[in-house]
Chains A and B, each alone.
Chain A
Amino acid sequence: MNRINFPAFLLCVALSTGAAFAGSRFTGNGHVWITKNADGSGSGSGYLGMIYNGPDNEWIGCQKSSTNLVMCHAKNTDQLIVDCWANSAFLANSVSSISADARLVFIFDAGGRCTQITVQHSSAFEDKQ
């Protein structure tokens, strides 16, 4: 049996999403969040639906090709742009799972190679309007 108590559940949700739920809807601003380290590595994340519906000049996305070339990029409200590339059928599978309202996180190494892609689907996320 894996019945769990509610506080533990909510903690897990907060840890896995990086933000706390309030009700059944995600109440964060959903903006593109970019980190860039001194060695050139970094990350980009955001909520596709909320970014689309928002008024700000920002974007985030990933693409894959028939040769499994993967590219992810993002621009935040400070107009900072990051991108990464990888030639990987493995990571291309992550791009396959991105939907219009998903939460997307990509991490890249100092050489600009995408090393991790996270995609989250949730009833709490806003759809593109």
Chain B
Amino acid sequence: MMKGLSNGRRARLVSAAILMGFVSAAGAGSRYNVPGVVRISEDGQGGWVVEGTLGEVRNSPDSVHRISCLQTRTEVINAGGLPSRTMRVTCQAANTERAVMCISGSEAVVNALNGVSNDALLELHITGSICTDIIVYESSGTIRKAA
């Protein structure tokens, strides 16, 4: 479903989904909970959409839950002074039903992780083993990592 949508339309749908995840906490601001802690759902086109917040997943009592992204940039200057650059992102996630991973060398996808915080929500769009999109959501409602 997401594939046929423009970026703006997809962003609006994502925002709507995020708003639905907010719940009020007693004596505190609203908190955002991902259904199932790590949600891995089919996108209707053979791919997956993964959603999880770094804090809520870490705090989960279920040891299977995890979500992670690793990005590497390499720049080597050759003898002629010209740079050779490569970049790669590898993301992994697991819940009690399945585990998925994806990679990408897309500059836009890798750069999506710029500025990500320690309690951000990560939304991964996966086709095959390729991360086709990474959405980072920062909010007052995302749950902090416990000690």
- Chain A residues within 8 Å of B, Cβ to Cβ: 1-4, 6, 9, 12-13, 16-17, 21-25, 49, 86, 88, 90-91, 93-94, 96-97, 99-103, 109, 113, 115-129
Q: Tell yes or no: B129 within 8 A of A by CB.
A: yes
Overall SS of chain A's interface? mixed
Residues of B within 8 A of A24 (CB): 57-58, 60, 62-66
Distance (whole angstroms) from the CB of B125 to the closest CB of chain A: 12
- Chain B residues within 8 Å of A, Cβ to Cβ: 46-48, 52-55, 57-58, 60, 62-77, 83, 85, 87, 90, 92, 94, 98-102, 110-111, 113-120, 122, 126, 128-129, 144-145, 147
Q: Given contact pairs A13-B68, A16-B70, enumerate 19 new A-B contacts (beta carbons under 8 Å).
A: A12-B101, A13-B66, A22-B63, A24-B62, A90-B87, A93-B73, A97-B114, A97-B115, A101-B145, A109-B76, A115-B74, A116-B72, A116-B75, A122-B66, A122-B67, A123-B53, A123-B55, A123-B57, A127-B144
A93 touches B52 (CB 8 A): no
B144 touches A86 (CB 8 A): no
Chain A residue nearest to B126 in the complex (CB): A2
B113 touches A127 (CB 8 A): no
Residues of B within 8 A of A117 (CB): 72-73
B100 touches A121 (CB 8 A): no
In this complex, which of A2, A88, A125 has the most chain B Cβ atoms within 10 angstroms of its Cβ?
A: A2
Q: A2-B129, A9-B92, A90-B83 are in contact. Are A115 and B76 (CB under 8 A)?
A: yes
Q: List 22 A-B contacts (CB under 8 A).
A: A1-B46, A2-B47, A2-B126, A2-B128, A2-B129, A9-B94, A17-B68, A21-B66, A24-B64, A90-B87, A97-B114, A99-B116, A100-B118, A115-B76, A120-B69, A121-B118, A122-B68, A123-B53, A123-B57, A124-B58, A125-B58, A127-B147
